[in-house]
Amino acid sequence: MTTSDAHTPASAQQHDTTAPARALGAHKAYVEGERAGLRVPVRRVHLSDGRALTLYDTSGPYTDPSVTTDVRRGLDTPRAPWIAARGDTETYPGRVVRPEDDGLQHTVPRGGAGGLDAVFPGRPRRPRRARSAAPVTQLAYARRGEITAEMEYAALREGVAPEVVREELAAGRAVLPANINHPESEPMVIGKRFLVKINANIGNSAVTSSIEEEVEKMTWATRWGADTVMDLSTGRNIHTTREWILRNSPVPIGTVPLYQALEKTGGKAEELSWELYRDTIVEQAEQGVDYMTVHAGVRLAYVPLTARRTTGIVSRGGSIMAAWCLAHHQESFLYTHFEELCEILAAYDVTFSLGDGLRPGSVADANDEAQFAELRTLGELTAVAREHGVQTMVEGPGHVPMHKIKENVELQQEVCDGAPFYTLGPLTTDVAPGYDHITSGIGAAMIAWWGTAMLCYVTPKEHLGLPDRDDVKTGVITYKIAAHAADLAKGHPGAQEWDDALSRARFDFRWEDQFNLSLDPETARAFHDETLPAEPAKTAHFCSMCGPKFCSMRISRDISERFGAESEAELSKEEIAAGMMEKSREFAASGNRVYLPLAE
């Protein structure tokens, strides 16, 4: 494994979504794999003591100053040669894009051809699908014992052997969402043996927001650490928004196809049909959606179980399917057509994210009959999907008080045979709208420690409005905290290195290193500067909490040095005790200086 660095100039614009580096002093670097041309991006923090720390990087080519990106052209396609080389897929004309795909039933079709050309200006591309009925999924390859380029890539990011990734995929305990029509993506793996991942939701709605804003939200979210992004757009321009996002996204993109299907009916749930849904799935698979939330566990018989709940059904997908079931008094078409769905997803390597349409929307409804009845069905569907070679993860709640969280992971792992769990929060109390990134960050950290593989973020605007740029960042940082806290608690190899590097920088008063090692260097620096704005304070051997006169860290360093902790030698307790009197005399001889004057 060799590495290369791409230095970031100090003039990098920190506030620009696609500025070259996360913070002054951070470098975009690459770790090269065994396979020719396989380069995995990392973020490298060079410390002032000459050491460096390498961190996982989700920000894509945008933060590499040697790469020029253009949102109208899209990203390069590193996966394209790998996909082609496998020889099990073919390009084909693809489904014709219709105005209805963008919710434009009542206007004239766009452009002449009505194809992707009209939707996205850069590099129109014919979609690709499996050449035969055999699945072209990472699960199928893993089961055959093949280590794909995608697996090697993900393994390098995780710092594990590629065989570990293959094993976990083959067993269904991990997924590697990588639609063959999203060759722009940088492969990553989701499973409890790996680093805990986080997802950021974006998406316009009928009420507000634009295509450009959504693309920028994606770039912004991945810049701060989102491992995947879900596009939950509703209303107009769904197809076009998604195309722009996919062509510019270095991370896997997830969707809830039901949302678009509903738009095509003009919002009438009872007019949904398997055929319409099927067509939407193909449409999105051809675009390159990496994973799809499918609420196939909302069965007719479970709907009445929600009637006496405090907050009924709060999942949009769940309530759409419940309405359809009620209107037709039939079993959900997602459930009855699940095997056909599997066949489609297998032909593009779209990963299932089995939706929890009956998740609790309040702590009062947590772990109730409706929720767990659906979960057992998701277990049954996980087994069916695996038979078809389709990668599968399972979604979880929601609103759950702390003492009921563990049961959720344990039951999911049991009934879904270890399939990756992907949870929204959970929120541990309902009383703090405006702060639900925090109410849910608590639950997220706990559930991830206990085995959840990916956490869907919650922003401060949850329950109140649509997240803006600041909310997206706050949500991502909060969830990076939850995920990393869980990595630490799980004893993930290497996780604590990061904490230790930052803590050592703090103890040594290396302020710049402390900022650069932070999850959010900009905020850390800004907060420090509010109290101690002068430049010398960046190297001051004190902080504003205790002031220059008496600093606990400074005294503590004295103690540390007095007892020779800087040396390699391991002293016994007896040696330390014996040396103590001597050290005490030295302390007195030094003038008992326990504080550091400003000038020093």
Mark the binding-site residues for substrate, compressed into ranges. Answer: 201, 230, 259, 295, 315-317, 356-359, 395, 422
Which of 534, 588, 589, 599 touches a copy of itself by CB under 8 A? 588
Structure-token match 């410390």, residue found: 47
| Closer by beta carbon to a copy of itself, 170 or else 477 | 477
Cα–Cα distance measured from residue 59 to residue 436, given in angstroms and rounded to the nearest whole number: 25
- By CB under 8 A, tell whether 31 contacts a copy of itself: no
| Closer by beta carbon to a copy of itself, 92 or else 550 | 550
Nearest-approach distance from CB 328 to a copy of itself, in angstroms: 8
Contact 197, 190 (CB under 8 A): yes
Segment lying near a copy of itself (by CB under 8 A), choices 21-29, 82-90, 167-175, 545-553: 545-553
Segment lying near a copy of itself (by CB under 8 A), choices 134-142, 148-156, 240-248, 460-468: 460-468
CB atoms near residue 11 (< 10 Å): 8
Q: What is the DSSP string of 234-257?
A: -STTHHHHHHHHHHH-SS-EEE-H
Contact 493, 453 (CB under 8 A): no
**How many chain residues interact with a copy of itself (CB under 8 A)?**
132
| Closer by beta carbon to a copy of itself, 167 or else 512 | 512
CB atoms near residue 331 (< 10 Å): 12
Give the tokens for residue 244: 């722009």
Which of 460, 475, 476, 510 touches a copy of itself by CB under 8 A? 460
Cα–Cα distance measured from residue 41 to residue 30, given in angstroms and rounded to the nearest whole number: 4
| Closer by beta carbon to a copy of itself, 51 or else 308 | 308
Residues whose CB falls within 8 Å of the CB of residue 340, separated by 6 or more in sequence, listed in order? 278
Cα–Cα distance measured from residue 386 to residue 593, given in angstroms and rounded to the nearest whole number: 68
For a copy of itself, the binding residues in 347-406 under the rule CB under 8 A are 361-364, 399, 401-403
- By CB under 8 A, tell whether 276 contacts a copy of itself: no
Cα–Cα distance measured from residue 394 to residue 413, given in angstroms and rounded to the nearest whole number: 10
Which of 502, 510, 513, 516 touches a copy of itself by CB under 8 A? 502
Nearest-approach distance from CB 520 to a copy of itself, in angstroms: 6
Contact 298, 338 (CB under 8 A): no
Q: Judging by beta carbons within 10 Å of its beta carbon (0-12, 13-18, 19+), is residue 531 exposed, middle or buried?
A: exposed
Can you point out the beta strands (E) in 437-591?
454-456
Segment lying near a copy of itself (by CB under 8 A), choices 216-224, 248-256, 297-305, 378-386: 297-305
CB atoms near residue 488 (< 10 Å): 15
For a copy of itself, the binding residues in 254-273 under the rule CB under 8 A are 262, 267-270
- By CB under 8 A, tell whether 544 contacts a copy of itself: yes
Nearest-approach distance from CB 142 to a copy of itself, in angstroms: 30
Nearest-approach distance from CB 575 to a copy of itself, in angstroms: 10
Q: Which residues are annotated as part of the binding site?
A: 201, 230, 259, 295, 315-317, 356-359, 395, 399, 422, 463, 543, 546, 551
Residues whose CB falls within 8 Å of the CB of residue 302, separated by 6 or more in sequence, listed in order? 358, 370, 373, 374, 377
Segment lying near a copy of itself (by CB under 8 A), choices 287-295, 338-346, 380-388, 456-464: 456-464
